[in-house]
Amino acid sequence: MSKSLYIPKGYESVISLRETQHAIKYIKDVFQQALSFALTLDRVTAPLIVRKGSGINDDLNGVERKVEFSTKESDSEAEVVQSLAKWKRLALYRYGYNPGEGIYTDMNAIRRDDDCDNIHSIFVDQWDWEKVITEGDRNIEFLKETVRFIVKTIAYTKRKLKLRYPALKSNICESVFFITSQELEDMYPDKPAKERERLITKEHKTVFIMQIGCTLKSGERHDGRAPDYDDWSLNGDLMLWNDVLDNALEISSMGIRVNAQSLKNQLETCNAMDRSRFEYHRLILDNTLPLTIGGGIGQSRLCMLLLEKAHIGEVQASVWPEEMVNECAESGIILL
């Protein structure tokens, strides 16, 4: 068996393959409409590709290889996006959005260095969203309030879904447990980060782990974060308990974005001040871009959770290792 694959004992999808296709569309229709209403977001069109060297592409942890290619009509190389964290903030500036208003979009990406397993694919699809805020909103309480809105939207979608597909049984816990990455390490100092996430989410079901990116007392990071979009003191990951996989599932990475001072501090910490030559970074450092909050919400991950699926490939068409496809088929897990 593939080391990265988990087969739940006795697993069987509670809805058919055809019902699954209908349900995916239903989830996406219900959720994005509810999210748009809850956070006051307009839907916009977003790029799949950007120019190489523009500084717009997400660097994720800084080591992932981007998908690059040349075009017939241009001398410059193009890149497939890894996320739209930077593009969204520029769009809010260009489109003239005001505090309290924001945007969301369908983001499709290819992350060629991701390992395939039950919840990871080299194809990434998520709702990327971004909202203009004021200086007074740059605090933990505003972040928590936004997280609660998102969780309520997920829970609402699950309730609507269960009315249409009564065979679905699980619920979404709407009470969010907030904890910092340092507090979590203090609770489980002898456990690795992913196991800490599993333990705290198993206990509380819906957890938001805050302040990700900075170095902990142990000398390690809870998880990697690029230095130029989230403010590491005002960000976090939303984890929901997945009964089928008996594990925590990260649904969203989000946060209040860097201002001029936090961008400078984080670039210096990562020895990445050379990025300040890019337009995006210059516009933050000179306080031209609006202050924002934003994040991504995994579309396929949300669908697999709400539909109680064992593998993200049951709700997403992608490329999987042949061994994984065969092992899943033998266990009644049909990958699209």
Encode pLDDT of 120-132 as tens digits: 998 899 999 999 9
Hey, what amino acid is at 179?
Answer: I
pLDDT of residue 101: 97
The reported pTM is 0.92
Encode pLDDT of 258-306 as tens digits: 999 999 999 999 999 998 898 899 999 999 999 999 999 999 999 999 9
**Domains of the chain by range and CATH?**
17-46+83-108+127-313 (3.30.930.10)
pLDDT of residue 194: 95
d(CA 46, CA 39): 19
Residue 242, φ and ψ in degrees, nearest 5: -110, 105
Whether pLDDT at 85 is above 90: no
**Which sequence positions are flagged as catalytic?**
58, 111, 126, 237, 250, 253
Residue 43, φ and ψ in degrees, nearest 5: -80, 135
pLDDT of residue 173: 97
pLDDT of residue 72: 77
CA angle 196, 307, 254 (to 5 degrees): 45
Residue 206, φ and ψ in degrees, nearest 5: -130, 115
Banded pLDDT at 1 (limits 50, 70, 90): very low
Cβ-in-10-Å burial (0-12, 13-18, 19+) of 14 comes to middle
**Chain-wide mean pLDDT for the chain?**
92
Encode pLDDT of 54-75 as tens digits: 767 766 655 667 778 887 777 7
